[in-house]
Structure 1
Amino acid sequence: MGMAIARALVRTGDFHVTVLEKEHRVAAHQTGHNSGVVHAGLYYQPGSLKAVLCARGRALTRDYCRDKGLPYRELGKLVVAVTEAELPRLDEIERRARENRVPDMKRLTRAELREVEPHAAGVAAVHSPHTAVVDYAAITEAMAQDVRSGGGSVLLGQEVTAVNNAGGAVHVSTPAATHIFDRLVVCAGLQSDVVARMVGASPSPAILPFRGEYWVMAAARSHLVRGMIYPVPDPRFPFLGVHFTRGVYDDVHVGPNAVPALAREGYSWARVSLPDTLASLRWPGAAALARQHWRMGAREISASLLKPLYFRQARQFLPELQPGDLARKAGAGVRAQAWAADGSLLDDFAVDRLGAVTLLRNAPSPAATSALAIADYVLEHHLQIAPHRLRS
């Protein structure tokens, strides 16, 4: 997200752009740990920023990959209702997809969904044939090169330790130097509320880290999945549930689940940060969130710790799946879920501005799909740079 905005600023020709990246490589966290899906806009509330910018972002991502020679595979997605009880929720997905003008979306019967995914089980489905997969880390590397080629700088291993947003200029300190900027755009992901406090912005929304764990299907059994098989999402939760995704390099991933991470960058149960955990427990909305979602949390944590429970969640969509088909764990990603002081989880993209500083406070999925469109949106609506000024 940050690199997309940096690229957009460089393309105006009006700014010298410097990117400060905490890690020693780009895409080290959310960008490099997601499923690689380019969403078509099935789920999102019509008229929301997610819906509008996902549609625009999908087209921009497709074109960017073609221009750069990066892989872009339209494998298609099935959202499957396993039981009759899920049909009303599938109806709502279909309604939203039609309002969002998802291209070539179609409602499928039981027989028709088996034509798309012969091994899938369900009573009905919604099919999005233009949902695609990419390598977001490669895209980010390409955008970083665009920034450099346009005269900007990408400084790696430069963790921001302090921000002074006063006196008409923004002083940003790292262990190596203090940089002085006319404007600062904060795209800090899992650390976005930490940097927001440095800037003097509201501590709300805070970031609640959720880890999503993946399994890789055995290569000999990966033929059971042609593209993507997703559950009908439960509107009470901000997560889609365990699903099957054939990746851009042809491996099939199962997951992710959603469990509370015990550190902002906690990619396993062994990674624990007491300050991060205490900050989550002390947040004013923690008790309300726990009361509302404890059953879901207990179920997800149990499936994380016990492979048979994880397998059971997956097998309802793929009855031929065998325990050995989940060949190995494929690591995990941590989602920066923004939550308010009342315990509610923010759903839509959220951007704040404090003087010369613009802060992305919430950028959940489909932020990767939407990144290039979000960049244009931030330039136009928060930096007052009209899109027509961007160089081709």
Structure 2
Amino acid sequence: MELARRAAGISPSPTLAIDAQAKAMKARGVKVINFSAGEPDFGTPEHIKQAAVDALAAGFTRYTPVAGIPELRQAVAASLAARGVNYEPANIVVSCGAKHSLYNAMQVLLNEGDEVILIAPYWVSYFEQVKLAGGVPVVIQTGADGDFKVTPAALEAALTPRTKLLILNSPANPTGAVYSRAELEALAEVILAHDLLVISDEIYAALLYDGLTHTSIASLGLEIKERTILIDGVSKTYAMTGWRIGYAATPRAIAKAMTDLQSHSTSNPTSIAQKAAVAALNGSQAPVEAMRREFEVRRNRILAGLRDLPGVDCNQPGGAFYVFPYIGKLLGRKFRGQELSNSTDVATILLNEYQVAVVPGVAFGADPYLRLSYATAMDQIETGLERLKAFISELE
């Protein structure tokens, strides 16, 4: 049997694969410290769960409009308005998670051969989703010295007549980098000058530290807003990863195309999850702030611990819940006779020998790095840091 070329060319998500391996080891009784999972370890707030219970009790279990129930689209519009971006509910398309929203957007925007600018380190699924839509990923490398952010000059240099789209992620996965308003304004000038589209992935917008505030590139004016597809969802902000509710806010023509596409794939997102998302967006935001504060405490601890490790450097992330330490100084050294050639070697040894699950930087287009999520309990962070120290102490 011959698979379609698009299927044969897909690489599985490394983050999900490592997380699955870590969970399988835990199920066997192995005491794994899992820094690989990109999901909060907190439970979904009670009022959100109760809304789902109430929806079940009311029999709200049938098909809904493909783009989401009206009250959820209104709640999304209100939430975005509080962020400084005004959309009508008709501009909102609710999907089965932000990843689904991204997939829909790329499917309706890209033609075969269209080039898409990715900023490395980039979230793993951007690359594969661009390819699945027939696009060509064009990667701009960034470094720790520039806080992993693309400059207008670097963006301009990467453009060709086939460039159609830029994918921007702030706060960023895996680096936690946060673009300032001034930085976004400078990028918007290039986008508008070259008639580009921009997907603005803002899934971590509520998770900011050090007094930073979030700016959406769509808030900078009508002209750039009309070229922006804003992506967000409830997974990270409300500890609702398994509920699978994401959304896009976009110009009306793109929203219609995404809705039409979705009507032939998943149809509507789960009805009761939509009701829960309404409660999340319209209800108390106190649980969100409590989680954000705890994430900041954890960030500070894991950052300090990593910086104390010999041969490890790490930028201070301004948002999300990841650290992205540089391990280039460890490469070339040996562990029990095996030379460490890349981040995959390091991640494999850490999981197999020290029961610490991390994601190799190569998955994000940045090999001499590792991604660690601090969306895990403080005692797990402490134990994980001890195991990382033990690993480095054994290197020759």
* TM-score, normalisation: structure 2: 0.23
Please identify which structure carries the higher helix content.
2
* TM-score, normalisation: structure 1: 0.23
Please identify which structure carries the higher strand content.
1
